[in-house]
């Protein structure tokens, strides 16, 4: 792992200069394209919207080799990055994902668990994050160097990893660069187990409060997480913003097509299969039962697309074994899909399956994309889940029934009925319900507000973000147009 020494020299990048009068924003976004990660979609749109709003944007991520160790690369994602965005890739990798045994130490080769324990203990001494804490010195040095090369007017940092916050604080301490924290899923809230991840008095808690106190805005992906932070830090409630993940219109077919009467139904799942094994097992059991009992599903297919495991466990894990065993039930595994080809995938599916972990604090960005397709949606998650809130007005939703296989079988049957009987008007009504969640619609107001805050042109920190048109009306009313 590069510890930050000679970091800037190793990048070998041309020195950047301000483009005329455009302000400069550093975007600390570990996971930026071409990383094949779901967070890359939000990161790409954030950078693009700041560029469109008049900023010079420097996006900071890590080298491609690091992503090849994890989920891989999707160069079609990078193709959609605004040409005005400058991307800096730091030479940082996760040592624990190394698969070349020739690079293993004796301890790692003979006692892997001891090696991991020692590595995480070292990382925690640097920053309270066991996997990424050791990156702190390199990230801090990189941001300071970028700022010295081209002074920044704003830093937007998106988490995870949370060690990004250390570098954010370093730039604030040394150069007072204003910053936005895009927490996405939050830090002190445990979105999987629905509770506190760590107390305020802990080392992590102390980092969190000082970072949030000095931030100009704090973004989260849904209202439950934002409410958690408003209640945890009521004195900072005015800074909290809900900036949902949304969907990319380029991934959605122009029309929701009706089911062809001469072919079996095809259900689909798209996403990384990093779910709890019992969740996947329950879904496959429900599918098997529904397919056996419902004539409409007799020859139906269930196509599973996405990464099955990461790093050394990619494609060779308990999830893969379950899916292999389900082949006799019409379950087809097709691997990952480049972002540019997602539209073709949805065009041939008749219904989609939303498998997601967590509960009331979890939404999953995939829910917005699924809604935008106008296809029936089968929910495979806890009933008390924020995805249920988002889907509650979607007319082709089968409802949240929890993870009981028998209940899931009923959901599959209802989805088949929707797929076979929904009219064109039904499908268009479903698609219309999703339009509010277009990724641009979520990010444009947030970017506009931050731009106003930094430029001193009337950002309103006591109210939620508004649309561009709404912002103009507010400014006019207050005499600041």
> pLDDT tens for residues 348-368?
999 999 999 999 999 888 999
Residue 357 CB neighbours (<10 A): 16
CB 377 within 8 A of CB 112: no
Q: What is the Cα–Cα distance from 28 to 24, expressed in whole angstroms?
A: 13
CB 370 within 8 A of CB 354: yes
pLDDT in tens, 26-77: 999 999 999 999 999 999 999 999 999 999 999 999 999 999 988 899 999 9
- Please choose, from the candidates 161, 164, 158, the residue with its C-alpha nearest in 3D space to the C-alpha of residue 180: 158
Q: What is the Cα–Cα distance from 305 to 323, expressed in whole angstroms?
A: 11
**What own/partner pairs with CB < 8 Å and gap ≥ 24 does 241-244 have?**
241/217, 241/446, 241/449, 241/464, 241/465, 242/464, 243/182, 243/219, 243/442, 243/443, 243/446, 243/465, 244/363, 244/368, 244/437, 244/442
CB 188 within 8 A of CB 172: no
Q: What is the Cα–Cα distance from 402 to 7, expressed in whole angstroms?
A: 49
Mean pLDDT over 187-212 rounds to: 95
pLDDT score at 461 = 36
Q: What is the Cα–Cα distance from 353 to 268, expressed in whole angstroms?
A: 6
pLDDT in tens, 136-148: 999 999 999 999 9
DSSP codes joined into one string, 138-176: HHHHHHHHHHHHS--SEEEEE-SSTTHHHHHHHHHHHH-
Look at residue 79 and tell me whether its pLDDT is greater than 80: yes
Three-state DSSP class for 289?
A: helix
Three-state DSSP class for 27?
A: strand
Q: What is the Cα–Cα distance from 69 to 71, expressed in whole angstroms?
A: 7
φ/ψ of residue 454, rounded to 5: -70, -40
pLDDT in tens, 294-304: 999 999 999 99
Q: What is the Cα–Cα distance from 317 to 310, expressed in whole angstroms?
A: 10
Q: Which residue has the tokens 């989260």?
A: 220
Percent of the chain residues topping a pLDDT of 70: 90
Strands (E), 248-357: 266-270, 301-305, 331-335, 351-355
pLDDT in tens, 441-469: 999 999 999 999 998 754 333 333 334 33
- Please choose, from the candidates 255, 254, 191, 187, the residue with its C-alpha nearest in 3D space to the C-alpha of residue 224: 191
**C-alpha distances in Å from residue 170, one per residue of 27, 92, 167, 197:** 15, 19, 5, 24
- How many Å is the Cα radius of gyration of the chain? 23
User: pLDDT tier at 253 (50, 70, 90 boundaries)?
Assistant: very high
φ/ψ of residue 277, rounded to 5: -55, -40
pLDDT score at 364 = 87
Mean pLDDT over 241-270 rounds to: 90
User: pLDDT tier at 321 (50, 70, 90 boundaries)?
Assistant: very high
**What own/partner pairs with CB < 8 Å and gap ≥ 24 does 4-8 have?**
4/137, 4/138, 4/139, 4/140, 4/141, 4/142, 7/90, 7/91, 7/138, 7/141, 7/142, 7/145, 8/141, 8/142, 8/145
**C-alpha distances in Å from residue 29, one per residue of 59, 91, 152, 400:** 6, 14, 15, 33
Taking the alpha carbons at both ends of the chain, their separation in whole angstroms is 51
**C-alpha distances in Å from residue 173, one per residue of 166, 170, 210, 338:** 10, 5, 11, 40
Mean pLDDT over 426-438 rounds to: 92
Look at residue 219 and tell me whether its pLDDT is greater than 60: yes
What's this model's pTM, rounded to 2 decimal places?
Answer: 0.88
Residues 6+ apart with CB under 8 A from 117: none
Q: What is the Cα–Cα distance from 268 to 302, expressed in whole angstroms?
A: 6
């Amino acid at each position: 792992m590069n510890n930050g020494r000679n970091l800037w020299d190793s990048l070998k990048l041309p020195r950047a200069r301000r483009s005329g009068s455009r302000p400069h924003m550093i975007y600390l976004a570990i996971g930026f394209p071409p990383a094949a990660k779901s967070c890359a979609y939000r990161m790409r749109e954030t950078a693009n919207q700041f560029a469109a709003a008049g900023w010079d944007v420097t996006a900071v991520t890590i080298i491609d080799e690091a992503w090849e160790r994890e989920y891989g690369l999707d160069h079609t994602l990078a193709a959609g990055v605004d040409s005005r965005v400058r991307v800096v890739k730091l030479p940082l990798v996760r040592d624990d994902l190394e698969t070349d045994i020739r690079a293993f130490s004796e301890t790692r080769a003979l006692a892997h668990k001891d090696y991991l324990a020692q590595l995480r203990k070292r990382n925690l001494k640097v920053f309270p994050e066991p996997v990424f804490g050791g990156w702190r010195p390199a990230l801090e040095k990189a941001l300071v160097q970028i700022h010295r090369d081209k002074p920044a007017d704003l830093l937007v940092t998106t988490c995870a990893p949370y060690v990004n916050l250390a570098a954010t604080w370093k730039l604030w301490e040394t150069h007072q660069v204003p910053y936005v924290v895009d927490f996405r899923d939050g830090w002190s809230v445990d979105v999987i187990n629905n509770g506190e991840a760590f107390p305020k008095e802990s080392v992590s808690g102390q980092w969190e409060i000082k970072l949030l106190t000095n931030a100009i805005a704090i973004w989260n992906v849904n209202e439950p997480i934002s409410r958690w932070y408003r209640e945890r830090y009521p004195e900072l409630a005015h800074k909290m913003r809900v900036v949902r993940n949304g969907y990319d219109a380029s991934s959605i077919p122009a029309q929701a097509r009706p089911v062809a009467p001469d072919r079996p139904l095809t259900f689909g799942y798209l996403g990384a299969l990093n779910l709890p094994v019992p969740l996947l097992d329950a879904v496959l059991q429900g599918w098997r039962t529904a397919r056996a009992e419902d004539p409409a599903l007799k020859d139906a297919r269930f196509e599973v697309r996405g990464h099955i495991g990461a790093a050394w466990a990619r494609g060779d894990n308990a999830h893969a074994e379950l899916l292999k065993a389900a082949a006799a039930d019409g379950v087809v595994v097709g691997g990952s899909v480049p972002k540019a080809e997602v539209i073709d995938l949805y065009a041939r599916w008749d219904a989609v399956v939303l498998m997601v972990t967590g509960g009331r604090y979890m939404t999953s960005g995939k829910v917005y994309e699924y809604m935008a397709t106008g296809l029936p949606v089968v929910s495979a998650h806890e009933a008390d889940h924020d995805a249920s809130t988002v889907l509650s007005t979607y007319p082709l939703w089968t409802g949240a029934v929890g993870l009981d296989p028998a209940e899931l079988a009923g959901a599959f049957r209802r989805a088949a009925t929707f797929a076979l009987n929904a009219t064109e008007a039904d499908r268009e009504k479903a698609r219309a319900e999703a339009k509010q969640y277009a990724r641009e619609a979520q990010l444009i107001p947030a970017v506009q507000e931050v731009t106003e805050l930094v430029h001193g042109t009337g950002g309103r920190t006591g109210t939620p973000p508004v649309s561009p048109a709404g912002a103009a009306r507010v400014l006019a009313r207050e005499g600041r147009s």
